[in-house]
Amino acid sequence: MAFERGNPNTSFGRYTTPTALISAAQNFTNAWAALGSEIDCRGYRQGGAFLKLTVNSSSGMRFRVMGRHTSASSDLFPLPIKVTSATSVSVAPEYVEMASDASQNIVFSWDVGNLIPYVVIQVEVGTVGATAAQVATAHYSRSY
């Protein structure tokens, strides 16, 4: 095959198929909690997540991406994230709070630059209502 100019990711499809991060809906709590397991980012440049959020009677849904230097480390380091939804408001460089307390889908990405081996996505809610908000489904993908 001849070398093609341009982005090699486009030419060779160098990204992973989206993988489920959780197997069942996860409730938001009023403290940061890991969403599913950590994500192994060794050998990758970027990661991305697709979350389906159900608000119920809660408000102030938040999420963030934290880096780890080793697997299962208790040391967590906040990563900047990019949000592509028009309904999000960045309230600090390290986390995003949803501007609308409505059920919605959100997609976001983070850069690891082939330097940060593990990440974990965390969620919390400002006010837990009579029925807690949930992440109904969550998937992630990584790119080289």
- The secondary structure of residue 31, as a DSSP letter, is S
pLDDT tens-place string over residues 58-112: 999 999 999 999 999 999 999 887 665 566 655 455 788 888 889 999 998 899 9
Using the predicted structure, report yes or no on whether residue 2 has a pLDDT greater than 90: no
Strand partners, 69: none
Q: Give the phi and the psi of residue 9 in degrees, each rounded to 5.
A: -60, -40
Residue 83: per-residue pLDDT: 60
Using the predicted structure, report yes or no on whether residue 20 has a pLDDT greater than 90: yes
Residue 34: per-residue pLDDT: 97
Residue 95: per-residue pLDDT: 81
CB 28 within 8 A of CB 134: yes
Strand partners, 60: none
CA distance 142 to 47: 4
CA distance 68 to 72: 8
Residue 89: per-residue pLDDT: 56
Residue 14: per-residue pLDDT: 76
pLDDT tens-place string over residues 38-65: 999 999 999 999 999 999 999 999 999 9
CA distance 64 to 49: 11
Residue 98: per-residue pLDDT: 85
CB 118 within 8 A of CB 43: no
Residue 16: per-residue pLDDT: 86
Task: Indicate the pLDDT class of residue 144, thresholds 50, 70 and 90.
Answer: confident
Residue 43: per-residue pLDDT: 92
Q: Which of 100, 93, 22 has its CA nearest to residue 61?
A: 100
Q: Which of 105, 116, 56 has its CA nearest to residue 83?
A: 105
Residue 88: per-residue pLDDT: 61
In the chain the domains, ranked by start, together with CATH numbers, are 17-143 (2.60.120.680)
Tokens of 109: 């990405």
Using the predicted structure, report yes or no on whether residue 35 has a pLDDT greater than 50: yes
Helix (H), strand (E) at residue 9: helix 8-12
Residue 36: per-residue pLDDT: 97
